[in-house]
Structure 1
């Protein structure tokens, strides 16, 4: 007589393979957003019918293997050490393993409502914990919520809950579907669970559609990236640097004639390896801004000590700042903002800044920020607390494989803007140039020059006032669902019945 394992093996393999494919295409660096909503459904439906341990292993492997495009990107493109990537692989397996195994365990004990709450709450709680633990490096860069960044009605939810609300929905929908189709669940419970999640989803869409206001653009701004050298950062007096400076000179003249008031250039496109050379080089950019009558924000690497040996890959700790430098059109003094967070693959040369900086005379409405700082909700919140309405962000992306992370990284930055109610002008040296508003609408996007008009009016959001309240609510919901499942056991069917339900067709 066949064992339960043998009887359910084809279904287990089928569910695991299906979820793996859906995660592969639904959570990669340029995802298909609707696939993310159903990616967990096959393994959650399986969890309602097999033993929790089998469900946990299947779900964990599906998510970890489905994430291979991301793990490979981290390893091969941005040089995250192999042990760290393997750790992330294992963590991914544990996360969805806990969700699917716990979901099946609660159904087995006769608690379908607790199971429907547990799955999304546990996912958010674990993602929240990972973000807190990796806050100094990764921030929230790996959140599955970014898969919905181009689905604007859904994206508006982050203005209330942060990314946690979108993450919750992405697991709540398949969890509810799995409960509704699970064997032994009463019609009444199916109706309550399915109806509750349908109301949540419909409410999110209605809120998103109503929230997207039309903003009048008061600031005509451009994000431009003209580097074609392949170098991340060129010494300011090298021939290549002079040629690139000349190209920006011509482009800024063109933009000024077109009525552009402010231009943002990419992160660390130029570098100064000797502190004594910094004032003279900044004066050169200041004169350029004054000559063309246009405000300029340029990304420049500024040494704190003379490089010895000089070069892009100088090994010294705290050797240089990664700066966004604002040069006013009126010829006034430049303002230097220093990047406040490091990131994966960044060398020890980076010396971090510790405070936001704003464009003088803007009533703090225009903030200076750099690339990976926008992966960190707390950094964006610091600018919003200072009353910023627009962030001006020199950015980089990856030289090894240009455009590979352009969509993901730009959308993570745009999501920060929606969370905090801020527009964004972002220039990525090896990615895309984007101009977006406080509702996540992309006003302009291009690989070389993006020009759009952004509002300088501040947009207040619930998230900017209350922070990670929803993440903590999910921690409480997780605890509550566990207590409910542990306190009382009311099996809705035996395992034998579940095996029969799975294979009776």
Structure 2
């Protein structure tokens, strides 16, 4: 180690600044510059390796937390306490892999030492997603890579964490090169190991795309969000934001909700007449009082039966009285014979923003002539376990807001490739997308760029099997075990030396 060069003195803070700035664009799908996601950890590691153990970690943690709060403020949710606190805590926890790297750097052989940081990064991302009410919303390095199709195929084996591992692995490789002043003989082994794996992943992903056969059967799907004029008319009648529904409010609320619902029914008929076999609404596109729900459902069933379509509806059901929560956020799938095939309650309400009765998180799957149709709702897509099911087409009705529309649309792409199904995400106040089982874009529309948004797309009726669909998060668990094993090994070595 005597010939190694670390960045010390005040100049190391330039690495900290570079890492934090690159991190703003490398960890947020909203401001995504894909290459920044590969680079920012290099700069932060350069800083921590040249600093004291605790000093380096504290500086990186505080800087990363501040950068994350900038993103939250830009997304317009700085005043939502759970989001502000959750994003701050997650940004600090995601700095722990740099601390682990700093502690174990000189205690393992060179190749094993380069694997500590990427394995720790995956372990922390995965464990945070398991315990946090925000799932993967604030975590994976991979978030900015959804458009890199060859690389994206890796998630069909490892889940999203495989891409995070590759991106994080670059940091110790480049740092070793910098520390050895790019002396080839000193870095040859680790550099060739990394390049070989990266080339293998990209080649395998490209081969998977090249061998993908054209879908023999397609179904025409129309995604619908409430039109802008209908929303404006409904707000003029009543801008519904009260904590509870009083009896005297109901007549006015019915008028406002009727404007939204009639717009959806009318446009569904139009799209069915245009050839759509499945019509999918956005999250909570229809709004109905609990006591009016049976009549609303009767109208929907008549529409499906009359037009011979599958109708996938995002509905907000407003509950009576002073009960908490005060509403249900559901997706209802109706068959062409008028039968209700499934009713799914949103399983993961957004903390601090939604007071809902959550569902069990088991995505319903219905066998149809157009394949196995499944359903979740919006934020559920940030929880990979909720979307891990055997389906051919997954519907994700959603309702975003300006400041998160790109990130949330990109996040859903990973779920499609992980599980081998096409995914239809019809969105209000955001970007609607449809991708196939390889993550290839089939349709994309922006709610903010048109007054009457519809997404018309032909979708494959058959998905494909994936390794991830069988083994789940095995790769992430192996990373957890690898980090734990490395720590135990180092501890036992130190005990042995003292003896």
Query: TM-score category by the smaller chain?
Result: 0.7 to 0.9
User: Distance between the aligned counterparts of 1:186 and 1:106, measured in 2?
Assistant: 23
Cα contact 1:120–1:168 (8 A) shared by 2 = yes
Q: What secondary structure is seen at the aligned counterpart in 2 of 1:350?
A: coil
TM-score (norm 2): 0.84
**C-alpha displacement of 1:252:** 2.6
Q: Structure 1: how far apart are the matches of 2:369 and 2:240?
A: 30
Give the 3-state SS of the residue equivalent to 1:204 in structure 2: helix
Q: Confirm or deny: 8 A CA contact 2:424 2:435 kept in the other structure.
A: yes
After the TM superposition, which parts of structure 1 deviate over 6 Å for at least 4 consecutive aligned residues? 230-237
Q: 1:255 aligns with which of 262, 265, 271?
A: 271
Could you tell me whether the CA contact under 8 Å between 1:294 and 1:328 is conserved in 2? yes
Inter-CA distance 16–452: structure 2 relative to 1 (3 Å threshold): same
The equivalent residue for 1:81 is: 81
1:41 matched to which residue of 2? Answer: 42
Aligned position for 2:436: 437
Runs of 5+ unmatched residues, structure 1? 1-6, 310-315, 490-505
Summarize the alignment of residues 137-286 of structure 1 with structure 2, pairs less than 5 Å apart: 137-142=133-138, 143-183=140-180, 188=185, 190-212=187-209, 213-216=212-215, 217-228=217-228, 229=231, 238-275=254-291, 277-286=292-301
- 1:345 matched to 2:352? The reply is yes
Distance 2:487 2:344 in 1: 46
3-state DSSP class of the match of 2:179?
Answer: coil
Closer, same or farther: CA 485–182 of 1 in aligned 2, 3 Å: farther
SS in 2 for 1:222: strand
Q: Give the aligned partner of residue 104 of structure 1.
A: 102
CA distance in 2, matches of 1:65, 1:215: 47
SS of match in other structure, 2:324 = coil
Cα pair distance change 1:334/1:282, threshold 3 Å: farther
- Taking structure 1 as reference, are residues 223 and 189 closer, same or farther at Cα in structure 2, changes over 3 Å only? farther
Structure 1 pair 269/252, CA: closer, same or farther in 2 (3 Å)? closer
Alignment length, in residue pairs?
A: 461
Pairing partner for 2:312 from 297, 305, 316: 297
How far does residue 414 in structure 1 lie from its aligned partner after superposition?
1.9
Unmatched tracts of structure 2, length 5 or more: 1-6, 242-249, 447-452, 495-499
- Is this contact kept in 2: 1:225–1:427, CA < 8 A? yes
Rounded to whole Å, the distance in 2 between the matches of 1:126 and 1:35 is: 20
Instruction: Give the Å deviation of 1:153.
Output: 1.4
Q: Once the 2 structures are TM-superposed, how far is the Cα of residue 43 of structure 1 from its aligned partner? A: 2.1
Structure 1 residue aligned with 2:4: none
Deviation by residue 1:138-187 (Cα, 9 ceiling, x = unmatched) = 22222222211111111111110011111111110122111222149985
Larger deviation: 179-188 or 417-426?
179-188
Residue-by-residue CA offset, 1:185-220 (whole Å, 9 max, x unaligned): 985551111111111211111111111224415211
Deviation at 1:345, TM superposition (A): 2.8
Q: CA RMSD in A?
A: 2.9
Distance 1:347 1:86, change over 3 A: closer
So what's the TM-score if we normalise by structure 1? Answer: 0.83
Q: Which residue of 1 aligns with 2:415?
A: 416
Deviations 1:357-384 (A, max 9, x none): 2345359711122112222111111x32
Deviates more, 1:280-289 or 1:221-230: 221-230
